[in-house]
Chain A
Amino acid sequence: MDRRQFFKLCACGATTSAIAALGMMPGEAMAAPREYKLLRAKETRNNCCYCSVGCGLLMYSHGTVGKNSEQSIFHIEGDVDNPVNRGALCPKGAGLVDYVNSPNRNQYPEVREPGTNEWKRISWQEAYSRIARHMKDDRDANLIETNEAGTTVNRWLTTGMMTSSAQPNEGGFITHKFARATGLVAIDTIARN
């Protein structure tokens, strides 16, 4: 606010007070405005998942903290405290709540059996067992323990992995351990895309 605006505002305030003093203020409004929708929401801090400016987010969710109550995110906006974006978001970031609540989210572990034309819902345990079985059969058959020169190389080339560039570092480290412990060499990220 500059000096000029300050004076204007003061003048405006003085006028309003004068009108009120003359008893000309409107009476009490009976229809209360709707309560500010974020007021009773839970606020959680996060960062935008799109580009790597790293804009801070405030995510608002409803639901109590009770055990049987599910939080549901209904609004996301920029975090004014974050020095990089100071509350701003681009059009994509401003629409993040539609990513969280996309109708195309996967919900359950599923399998598509060879040659079929449908998804079949399975349990996590079935998924783990069947995937681990595939891995073990392939690894046991194809792990290269030594090269022609006799050097220990322990590489497994018949399975590969494209890794995520949106999961947190901690998931990335677990991914790295998972890959190298089994002997995977052919791992890559979208960094190369």
Chain B
Amino acid sequence: MTNHWIDIKNTNVAIIMGGNAAEAHPVGFGWVSEAMQHNDAKLVVVDPRFTRSASLADVYAPLRSGTDIAFLLGVIRYLIETDQVNHDYVKAYTNASFIVREDFEFNDGLFSGFDEETGTYNKESWFYELDGEGFAKVDPSYQHPRCVWNLLKKHVDRYDFDTVSNITGTKVEDYQAVCEVIGSTHTHDRVATFMYALGWTHHTKGAQNIRSMAMIQLLLGNIGVLGGGVNALRGHSNVQGATDMGLLCQGLPGYLKLPNDNDVNLETYLRNYTPVPLRPGQTNYWQHYPKFFVSQMKSFWGKYATKENDFGYDWLPKWDLQYDYTKHLDMMYHGQVNGLFVQGVNCINSQPNRNKVLKALSNLKYLVVLDPLATETATFWQHADQFNEVNPASIQTEVFRLPTTLFAEEEGCIVNSGRWMQWHWKGANPPGESKPDAEILSGIMLTLKQMYKDEGGKLPEPIEAIKWDYHTPSFPHGEEVAKELNGKDIATGRQLDNFTQLKDDGSTECGCWIYSGCWTEAGNMMARRDNHDPSGKGITPGWAFAWPMNRRVLYNRASCDVNGKPWDPKRMILEYTDGHWHGIDVGDFNMKLPPQESAHPFMMQPEGVGRFFALKMLAEGPFPEHYEPMESPIGTNPLHPNVVSNPAVRMLPGVKETLGSNKEFPYVCTTYSMTEHFNYWSTHCRLAAISMPETFVEIDEVLARDKGINNGDWVRISSKRGAMETKALVTQRLQPLKVNGQWVHTIGLPRHGSHNALIRKSFTCNVLTTEVGDANTQTPEYKAFLVNIEKAKGI
């Protein structure tokens, strides 16, 4: 979230799209209710299903799953055409006036630079036109035909109401109602917030779904202000922290980059990731990249990281390909992987195409599962009726199941969606011999260190060097590691106040620069419990610590005009008066600078402004474009039949054959959770299991009638990947939609089930799902794939 949960109370319009906060984040949704009751806010919900959020909405519009971009680009067209644009904001704080290179094009569904053979883009032309000094050329009058504003207008021009309605299945009058409410926030005194979750990320164009919305927020001037922003409602309690910790195949903590093969040495690496400003007078905050990186290497390798050995740079692995889990699972499936650690993840239930996951795990030599619960992943080799048809004797995988603690039995910090780092305390010992993950991994690491010391082996240096100098190396305490994340001055041992004190000469150590300030000489800032809200705007500066710098609203410089005057006095975050900045939050800029010099609120960008045109950042284009899901129920793209789905998706060999057509599988299936569900954990918790004792599938009344299915009947659902049986719930919450001249039915399949827990034995929905993912993140398309459904005998 750019903002945070409580801040939702400051909004005038909450738009929930690609999520269902009332169901999945019920307590967070309380702040939407607060806004509705005390700020006269309107709630807009756009979802294929009439969800719990929808049932509380002022305006609800159904859409066909996988058509969000068409929906949102149509909103942009509407806003521009009706001139409901916050022009002051757009002019000052976005790249609307920037001029794009002459060779940039968009024709018939493809941007310039597409290579048919590799299915990737050469992004050279997706950039600004530069002047002699390397600065981007701009035209504040918007006269230049290739300034971003004119390109954007042209790009969205195709998305008129009828076209959008034809693609999305949303009725024009419903659509118009949504557009009007959103448009009402273009003035300085009104603001909208967008709340989204996996309903936007689980698509082959998930990143572009979110971008389309961010572009609307820029047009309306809704980013960096109270009650506004781009708000991802994250799933797991510490998935924000796991992402901050860089636990991804191409990441390092603090959103630094794991080097790739092109970053041949430290000098090249730092050059590649330290941007040069694209406009004069920029803060260009990533210019400090070398300080963040070198300090992190000191926290990795300690005294072994020296200037002479490039601070241990060569010990970091480099990537040549994106080895996300679907790619690695595919390698496992093809017998190219020997070992896998699975920490708190239930792969066999969660990862797409269960049959493939099962085969992949069976090919492993060793599998190490660290989990507080007895998951089906650890017992994938056990036969379980029709749910897991295997022969244990033929599976040669050695499986270790290691019991871990859970939240109540360990101390530490988890980060909520609003970037609050909240410290928690241990309440009891875990059962049996369970241990925290950090202790288990330390046990393995120390054993491995000893083995390399005794036996030698390949590249022992990083294993020897990795800094494990905790008070008790076999069990690093949360407090010690938290201090390490904050960082310290190595010579004096003093904890750093914040990341502005980091150096690139090896004299400071810091595990994660964005966390710096969380544990200073004054102590543990994350454990603070002053819930005082002096401004009444929901900013509780003394409660826990919000990264970065205890800042509660990101990009908050954009809440004021260029001269430092708040756009809306009632929504003041910061203000420049009497030669000083003051306000209710920590400024997201250098508060020593006068307003005109700090008037580039998006200071992590080398041009300091928000981008309608995303340059080379994304795989499938600098503007979003509507592409059909990989399995499209209409089998065509009404905008450009030659480019039906996202042309830049990664298609691993053999995966194309696992995709079905709308002839064979005519219905759209979408997955989600109810309040009592939580990724299969809750199947092990008695109360949740009692309230959700078995699985079901939601189908609309028309389809049920056509198929002769009654409420409570057993049904068989099949996709090209597999089939499962469950019970039907016939509901009005789903309605057939008229799309491109045909009726499209959506089937709703909650992500629930287990054959090994406290609920009735059942299949899980990943029997059906596809592994093809977003072209940037590779998040699988769990929200829009094709199935068939028929009545079945039952289990």
Chain A neighbourhood of B481, CB < 8 A: 169-171, 173-174
Question: Is the beta-carbon distance between A173 and B253 smaller than 8 angstroms?
Answer: yes
Question: Is the beta-carbon distance between B28 and A154 smaller than 8 angstroms?
Answer: no
Given A85-B27, A180-B316, A129 contacting B447 (CB threshold 8 A): yes
Tell me if A5 counts as interface (CB < 8 A to partner B): no
Give B706-743 interface residues, CB cut-off 8 Å to A.
none
Question: Is the beta-carbon distance between A163 and B323 smaller than 8 angstroms?
Answer: no
Contact with B along A63-96 (1 / 0, CB 8 A): 1000000111100100001111100111111111
Given A115-B395, A154-B317, A181-B463, A175 contacting B441 (CB threshold 8 A): yes
Tell me if B400 counts as interface (CB < 8 A to partner A): yes
Contact with B along A99-141 (1 / 0, CB 8 A): 1101111111111111111010000100111111111101110
Residue in chain B with minimal CB distance to A172: B245
Give Cα distance in the complex from A110 to B236, angstroms: 27
Contact with B along A38-77 (1 / 0, CB 8 A): 0000101111111111111101010100000011110010
Give Cα distance in the complex from A106 to B400, angstroms: 12
Question: Is the beta-carbon distance between B323 and A185 smaller than 8 angstroms?
Answer: yes
Give Cα distance in the complex from A76 to B718, angstroms: 41
Which among B98-106, B146-154, B168-176, B431-439 touches the partner chain? B431-439
Distance (whole angstroms) from the CB of B301 to the closest CB of chain A:
9
Question: Is the beta-carbon distance between A138 and B239 smaller than 8 angstroms?
Answer: no
Q: Which residue, of A50, A51, A163, has the highest number of chain B Cβ atoms within 10 A?
A: A51
Given A109-B400, A162-B340, A166-B238, A89 contacting B452 (CB threshold 8 A): no
Given A51-B24, A51-B237, A98-B687, A71 contacting B427 (CB threshold 8 A): yes
Give B334-379 interface residues, CB cut-off 8 Å to A.
336-345, 347, 350-351, 365-366, 368, 370-374, 379
Give Cα distance in the complex from A153 to B431, angstroms: 42
Give B108-160 interface residues, CB cut-off 8 Å to A.
none
Given A54-B414, A181-B445, A108 contacting B339 (CB threshold 8 A): no
Which among A12-20, A29-37, A143-151 touches the partner chain? A143-151
Residue in chain B with minimal CB distance to A60: B427
Question: Is the beta-carbon distance between A188 and B25 smaller than 8 angstroms?
Answer: no
Given A112-B381, A157-B337, A191-B242, A95 contacting B687 (CB threshold 8 A): yes
Tell me if B51 counts as interface (CB < 8 A to partner A): no
Distance (whole angstroms) from the CB of B29 to the closest CB of chain A:
9
Question: Is the beta-carbon distance between B400 and A99 smaller than 8 angstroms?
Answer: no
Chain A neighbourhood of B442, CB < 8 A: 174
Q: Which residue, of A129, A155, A169, has the highest number of chain B Cβ atoms within 10 A?
A: A169
Given A46-B424, A49-B407, A71-B427, A84 contacting B245 (CB threshold 8 A): no
Question: Is the beta-carbon distance between B688 and A52 smaller than 8 angstroms?
Answer: no
Question: Is the beta-carbon distance between B779 and A193 smaller than 8 angstroms?
Answer: yes
Q: Which residue, of A61, A99, A109, A181, has the highest number of chain B Cβ atoms within 10 A?
A: A181
Given A105-B403, A106-B432, A178-B441, A160 contacting B328 (CB threshold 8 A): yes
Distance (whole angstroms) from the CB of A19 to the closest CB of chain B:
40
Tell me if A192 counts as interface (CB < 8 A to partner B): yes
Give Cα distance in the complex from A138 to B757, angstroms: 34
Distance (whole angstroms) from the CB of B668 to the closest CB of chain A:
20
User: Which size bracket describes the interface of B in this complex?
Assistant: 35 or more
Contact with A along B418-438 (1 / 0, CB 8 A): 101110111111111111111
Distance (whole angstroms) from the CB of B302 to the closest CB of chain A:
11
Give Cα distance in the complex from A119 to B381, angstroms: 11
Question: Is the beta-carbon distance between B373 and A133 smaller than 8 angstroms?
Answer: no
Chain B neighbourhood of A100, CB < 8 A: 406, 408-409, 428
Question: Is the beta-carbon distance between A47 and B393 smaller than 8 angstroms?
Answer: no
Question: Is the beta-carbon distance between A159 and B337 smaller than 8 angstroms?
Answer: yes
Chain B neighbourhood of A132, CB < 8 A: 444, 447-448, 451
Residue in chain B with minimal CB distance to A184: B317
Give Cα distance in the complex from A167 to B675, angstroms: 22
Q: Which residue, of B366, B410, B425, has the highest number of chain A Cβ atoms within 10 A?
A: B366
Residue in chain B with minimal CB distance to A192: B779
Chain A neighbourhood of B484, CB < 8 A: 173
Select which of B373, B414, B424, B543 is within 8 A of A105 by beta carbon: B373
Give Cα distance in the complex from A114 to B777, angstroms: 35
Which among B219-227, B605-613, B638-646, B677-685 touches the partner chain? B677-685
Given A47-B414, A92-B676, A108-B433, A164 contacting B339 (CB threshold 8 A): no
Question: Is the beta-carbon distance between A59 and B408 smaller than 8 angstroms?
Answer: yes
Select which of A49, A129, A173, A182 is within 8 A of B511 by beta carbon: A173
Which among B55-63, B278-286, B454-462, B553-561 touches the partner chain? B454-462
Question: Is the beta-carbon distance between A165 and B236 smaller than 8 angstroms?
Answer: yes
Question: Is the beta-carbon distance between A151 and B246 smaller than 8 angstroms?
Answer: no
Question: Is the beta-carbon distance between A188 and B317 smaller than 8 angstroms?
Answer: no
Give Cα distance in the complex from A96 to B428, angstroms: 14
Residue in chain A with minimal CB distance to B766: A193
Chain A neighbourhood of B452, CB < 8 A: 136
Question: Is the beta-carbon distance between A112 and B399 smaller than 8 angstroms?
Answer: yes
Question: Is the beta-carbon distance between B344 and A174 smaller than 8 angstroms?
Answer: no
Residue in chain B with minimal CB distance to A177: B466
Question: Is the beta-carbon distance between A104 and B374 smaller than 8 angstroms?
Answer: yes
Chain B neighbourhood of A96, CB < 8 A: 408, 685
Residue in chain B with minimal CB distance to A188: B325
Question: Is the beta-carbon distance between A135 and B413 smaller than 8 angstroms?
Answer: no
Chain A neighbourhood of B686, CB < 8 A: 95, 98, 102
Chain A neighbourhood of B438, CB < 8 A: 167, 170-171, 174-175
Question: Is the beta-carbon distance between A127 and B400 smaller than 8 angstroms?
Answer: yes
Give B599-657 interface residues, CB cut-off 8 Å to A.
none
Question: Is the beta-carbon distance between A188 and B428 smaller than 8 angstroms?
Answer: no
Chain B neighbourhood of A170, CB < 8 A: 412-413, 438, 476, 478, 481-482, 485
Give Cα distance in the complex from A52 to B237, angstroms: 4
Question: Is the beta-carbon distance between B447 and A84 smaller than 8 angstroms?
Answer: no
Tell me if A168 counts as interface (CB < 8 A to partner B): yes
Chain A neighbourhood of B543, CB < 8 A: 82-83
Question: Is the beta-carbon distance between B427 and A166 smaller than 8 angstroms?
Answer: no
Chain A neighbourhood of B399, CB < 8 A: 111-112
Residue in chain B with minimal CB distance to A49: B407
Question: Is the beta-carbon distance between B234 and A52 smaller than 8 angstroms?
Answer: yes
Give Cα distance in the complex from A145 to B414, angstroms: 36
Select which of B235, B401, B427 is within 8 A of A190 by beta carbon: B235
Select which of A49, A104, A182, A186 is within 8 A of B463 by beta carbon: A182
Give B462-486 interface residues, CB cut-off 8 Å to A.
462-463, 465-468, 476, 478, 481-482, 484-485
Tell me if B415 counts as interface (CB < 8 A to partner A): yes
Question: Is the beta-carbon distance between B675 and A92 smaller than 8 angstroms?
Answer: yes
Given A182-B448, A186-B323, A149 contacting B424 (CB threshold 8 A): no
Residue in chain B with minimal CB distance to A142: B338
Distance (whole angstroms) from the CB of B313 to the closest CB of chain A:
9
Give Cα distance in the complex from A110 to B345, angstroms: 18
Residue in chain A with minimal CB distance to B382: A117
Residue in chain A with minimal CB distance to B245: A172
Give Cα distance in the complex from A88 to B351, angstroms: 32
Give Cα distance in the complex from A183 to B259, angstroms: 12
Chain B neighbourhood of A168, CB < 8 A: 238, 241, 410-414, 424, 478
Given A57-B424, A153-B317, 8 extra CB contacts under 8 A: A44-B408, A52-B239, A83-B538, A84-B28, A105-B374, A132-B447, A153-B320, A189-B242
Listed by A's residue number, 13 A-B pairs whose Cβ atoms lie within 8 Å are: A47-B414, A117-B393, A129-B447, A130-B398, A132-B448, A154-B318, A162-B340, A162-B345, A163-B247, A165-B239, A169-B245, A188-B328, A189-B242
The 10 closest A-B pairs by CB, nearest first: A168-B412, A54-B416, A107-B432, A164-B344, A95-B687, A106-B403, A44-B427, A159-B339, A170-B481, A172-B245
Q: Which A positions have Cβ atoms within 8 angstroms of B?
A: 42, 44-57, 59, 61, 63, 70-73, 76, 81-85, 88-96, 98-100, 102-117, 119, 124, 127-136, 138-140, 142-143, 145, 147, 149, 151-193
